[in-house]
Chains A and B, each alone.
Chain A
């Protein structure tokens, strides 16, 4: 019995960063499940410094723990069951980049992995919540293989440009109408003014077809540059 236990302890893999204290016998097969490049594993890339600059936090064990808890939360919410635990989420192959692989084990049977599609659906649904836990965005908390969700484009009832256009065209049309009206009024005033004059001075002295008032005479186009000579 003792030798059997000793054998099992010897076979148990070295403790990794993301190991929680569960009996080695149960853990050994489960930890094997988390392998990079397998069909049900997702790679995660985290860029805290890019996202937060000076206010970046260190990525350490506790952050990984939080990550696992968040994924478990997403799985719980999506499948509407309370059986997912932090222990259901396994993390491996952490690098300095801060990137790692994770898998989710089924709550009923720890040796069975939850399907990739289902994990994806859960994560997509709660992506926003997951991002906010870490103060990151879709681009700085990347799940390779899950495309970032796009905010629904805001479609206002009136596109903004039509409003500006409306203002400009309103002003221009108002201006045109105002100027045209004032031109018409000006012309009417001139007409009534000259009409008044004509009624008074009917017998106008005329000589050679030129009214005496036009003392300047009619310009005779046959002479050129006569202005030059008349100016004193």
Chain B
């Protein structure tokens, strides 16, 4: 069973090749560096005590991220096939791993591109003066501002009402929002045009999509550092809080962040490296991609936090100015006699002399710490917190446009990897007749994904997207990665893999890599998986709904998931990985049948069936 015929390239059709090494590296870096680097890593840094988070993060990178990355790139380059072909070639019993990767890539691609559609929507709206999320719109009879907007904030209103038109709970599906459908269609068309000729066009597209974000981050860095309050934000971010390191959740989040950040177990990296020449130094590539990914995360968090510091500062000043106005009006003090600087002194004086009157004003308590701690990750960071900061910056349109183009190119280069993880296995399954040109097939897949992703354009779309994000993009990937590492190290054999690497890079993998592959990484994966499931099981799954009729509005209305929704969540976690045992079972049955029939043959004294080669189905 072990010595299967490893086909290198028996097809008449020539396997596509990268034009040069730079394209390959940029594609891998683009796939790894995605939206999560910008909006998840800074958030984790913030809640886990700033600089202290870097320690578990770097440990996870070195012992979990880099070994898995190296493994995927090496196996893809050696066996020169996409995810299904590779695992089938190692052993047909684990062919299900490839199918699982493909399903996960498809499901993740669905919601990831919807986020890009939202980014496009904001991008289209950044060309207006004033920005549409800067002010509340006026209501129908021109008597005041729209109530929902007044009660929350213009930024929230624009996101929840004018973009998503969100329903008050997940059961209310609402209708398809045509403007989001239009943006989604545009996003898929853009993905299609970049992917139209496979890596030939991707290779050209990544020159822009992988490098442009760095340019924008640098521009933002320079701008952000000159804003007032930037240093407060940076100090807050990087001041380590060593106490937090005792929290096991921190280590778990560091491990999962590294794992998802490197886009492992999607199958895309295996496909991309299979287009390399055989003697490419994949060890150096893996280390390079891994280190650049982490460095990008750290580099991105600097301008993000400078801008968040600026926003906290602006919020503090607005809060103080509101209080100042209340005091000035109530006590008839001269205009601008109370300023932000002497506010505390005036407040003490007035509170000392007229405590009742001051109390009746219901002044807000303005603290910079409170504003700094308003953390957000994910879409909340990009579409609420950051847009609020941008509207205060002079020349807001320019910054908004730059920011959303950066987000779009970050996400687009990750979508390439997702799409590759779908198309490449499908071709290997021979489900596509060879006379269909790849342009047509790619168009078909894009169209199918667009139609399925219309779920996310309904009023309840955002709630469904959160579900997909939490349940598809987490546990299945961990399981797939675990089976990948077991398949290569224990089924394919460490010795054989070591010889392959000797052939490809010119030297055997050193003791560090071997130790990680054989022991450390699988153990870490198991621990992370078990801990993750344990934590998920303890908490009753609930979601935060935006409900204008809720009493505590503008607070979120936290609701538990209904039973049928929860069933779908479980399905999303299990369906991708169920192919692993199913395929193993299927091959086991075949093997058992063959053994029984060969035993029968042996009993009739027919030549001995040499099990030395296995017939591929």
| A interface residues (Cβ-Cβ under 8 A, vs B) | 45-50, 95-99, 147, 150, 152-153, 160-165, 168-169, 172-173, 175-176, 179-180, 183, 187, 219, 221-222, 224-225, 227-228
Contact = CB atoms under 8 A, between A and B. Distances in A.
B10 A97 contact: no
A164 B332 CA distance: 50
B201 interface: yes
A51 B490 CA distance: 75
Given A175-B193, A176-B193, A219-B8, A183 B332 contact: no
Contacts of B128: 160-161
21 contacts: A96-B334, A98-B334, A99-B329, A150-B142, A160-B127, A160-B128, A164-B124, A165-B186, A168-B124, A176-B193, A179-B201, A179-B439, A183-B196, A183-B197, A187-B437, A219-B7, A219-B9, A221-B5, A224-B6, A225-B499, A228-B503
Interface residues of B, number: 42
Contacts of B494: none
Nearest to B6: A224
A161 B127 CA distance: 7
B138 A150 contact: yes
B328 to A, nearest CB: 6
Contacts, number: 96
Given A47-B335, A228-B503, 17 more contacts: A45-B329, A97-B329, A97-B334, A97-B335, A99-B329, A147-B143, A160-B127, A161-B127, A164-B127, A165-B124, A169-B186, A176-B189, A176-B192, A179-B193, A183-B197, A221-B5, A227-B8
Contact of A152 (B6, B142, B196, B197): B142
B342 interface: no
A221 B128 CA distance: 63
Nearest to B330: A97
Given A45-B329, A224-B5, A183 B10 contact: no
Nearest to B138: A150
A97 B328 contact: yes
Interface in B1-47: 3, 5-10
Given A97-B334, A98-B335, A165-B124, A222 B503 contact: no
Given A150-B142, A165-B124, A176-B193, A222 B332 contact: no
Contacts of B437: 183, 187
Given A99-B332, A147-B143, A222 B197 contact: no
Interface string B144-178: 10000000000000000000000000000000000
A121 B201 CA distance: 66
Given A165-B182, A183-B437, A176 B332 contact: no
B10 A48 contact: no
Contacts of A165: 124, 182-183, 186
Contacts of B8: 219, 227
The 6 closest A-B pairs by CB, nearest first: A221-B5, A49-B336, A161-B124, A95-B332, A97-B332, A47-B335
Contact of B613 (A162, A180, A222): A222
A174 B389 CA distance: 36
Contacts of B182: 165
Q: Which of A47, A161, A219, A227 is most buried by chain B, counting CB atoms within 10 A of its CB?
A: A161
Interface in B509-562: none
B137 interface: yes
B208 interface: no
Interface of B: 3, 5-10, 120-121, 123-125, 127-128, 137-138, 142-144, 182-183, 186, 189-190, 192-193, 196-197, 201, 278, 328-329, 332-336, 437, 439, 499, 503, 613
Given A164-B127, A176-B196, A180-B439, A147 B332 contact: no
A96 to B, nearest CB: 5
A161 B125 contact: yes
Contacts of B124: 161-162, 164-165, 168
Nearest to B125: A161
A168 B335 contact: no
Given A179-B197, A219-B8, A228-B503, A172 B335 contact: no
Contact of A50 (B120, B186, B336, B503): B336
Given A147-B144, A180-B196, A221 B186 contact: no
Contacts of A224: 3, 5-6
A43 to B, nearest CB: 10
A183 B142 contact: no
A117 B47 CA distance: 55
Nearest to B612: A222
Nearest to A174: B193
A224 B124 CA distance: 55
B411 to A, nearest CB: 15
A146 to B, nearest CB: 12
Contacts of A164: 123-124, 127
Nearest to B124: A161
Contacts of B121: 161
Nearest to A182: B197
Nearest to A168: B186
Contacts of A45: 329
A79 B413 CA distance: 67
Q: Which of B138, B193, B201, B439 is most buried by chain A, counting CB atoms within 10 A of its CB?
A: B193
A45 to B, nearest CB: 7
Contacts of A46: 335
A172 B188 CA distance: 10
Given A164-B124, A169-B186, A183 B144 contact: no
A160 B123 CA distance: 11
A221 B437 CA distance: 28
Contacts of B7: 219, 221
A176 to B, nearest CB: 5
Contacts of A227: 8, 278, 503
B125 A222 contact: no
Contacts of A172: 186, 189-190, 193
Nearest to B336: A49
A48 B335 contact: yes
A44 B335 CA distance: 13
Contacts of A228: 503
